[in-house]
Structure 1
Amino acid sequence: MRIDIITVLPELLKSPFEASILKRAIEKDLVEVHLHNLRDYTTGNYKQVDDYQFGGGAGMVMMIEPIDKCISQLKSEREYDEVIYMTPDGKTLNQGMANEISMKKNIIVLCGHYKGVDQRVRDMFVTREISIGDYVLSGGELAAAILCDAVIRLLPGVLNDETSALTDTFQDNLLAPPVYTRPAEYKGMEVPKILLSGNFPKIEKWREQQALERTQERRPDLLEK
């Protein structure tokens, strides 16, 4: 999988890909992540990427020309399955969406800034608009990092135990059941005896029931789906 991220703040995005699972995935050639500084596609001494919005109003708007140049350059080199724009008014990211995107080969992720991008960018290039929640960030970089983390961990070979992702919260619209590790007893609190029984069919049944009960209690809306 190849992910090309277009941003005005590439330095903000470097650290998530230099540690932990994302770093290992890149080093194992399971994914390529390339950062593209939008200012490299501008002209003039000021490397301007934004301008005042037509019709007046507070806030600057990201200009269409440098974005067009960047995306067009990338598209001239390879085919892309998706051009994703990170924006508060996009569809909220969920596990099903991450699963779907993880099946793609090449994607572009465009990070918004200021008051967003010129609408013509969205009309011309964007195939999917994603939000990470009903709030506004200073830019789309942190949202892009979250999207990449959610997607990359699903790629075959990224996790040491590939079945781990299949039992994550939100898979099958259920929250994950409670989990325990050593010691079996701590300050009077004991691990449920079923987990120590070695009876794996019964353990799986217990986990399914716990997942269902936890979902009913905390996120009943998921069961409606």
Structure 2
Amino acid sequence: MTSPVTLDRRDGPHGEVVLRRRAEHFEIIANGTFLMDTSDGRSERLLVDAALAALPEESRSGASVLVGGLGVGFSLAHAAADPRWGRIVVAEREDAIIDWHREGPLSAVSGSALADPRTVILHTDLVTHLRTSPDTYDALCLDIDNGPDWTVTEDNESLYSAEGLAACAARLNPGGVLAVWSAQPSADFEDSLRNAGFSGVRTEEVPVARGVPDVVHLGIRPR
């Protein structure tokens, strides 16, 4: 396996974030934990597609979506490639990641999406935004951790609590969809979604050759 080359390393209020290149692909590491890379992207695209498909058919055209966070840009780029999304808002708390997309190597993934007039980048903590913003969306596509059971920082754990899921529901329009990416299935999180009042709770998998599949957990805010 090709050894990675560190392109940038930043210390911020939430710890260290690193951008590395391994052969032709880029990797993001946060506090020593591998987050994602540009080698595949199927699960990030599923996150967006599954959320849109779960919306009522009459709500899919012109739907609004909040993507959290920016990551390597696959979810944003995929949403921007679909004309049915009417508004695409991305919440990202790390200055470095935003810089890598606007002026750095990751602009190759997200450049056209960032230039799309439907796209808005919010430099903000996702958890704080969900709890304090008055804005509502048709879909929330959340990918800020390796899953509900494996968070990047301790303060992210509150997102998957009863209080955090209530904040998600409050940011959704009636019939809106919450989609949460995870590196592995979580039956406990499915139960948490149901206990928080979400309906239609299910988990979609990304098939892999070996190992545990990436998944997207889905729940719908009742009308």
What is the TM-score when the length of structure 2 is the normalising length?
0.30
Larger radius of gyration: 1
What is the TM-score when the length of structure 1 is the normalising length?
0.29
Greater relative contact order (Cα < 8 A, sep 6+): 1
More helix by share: 1
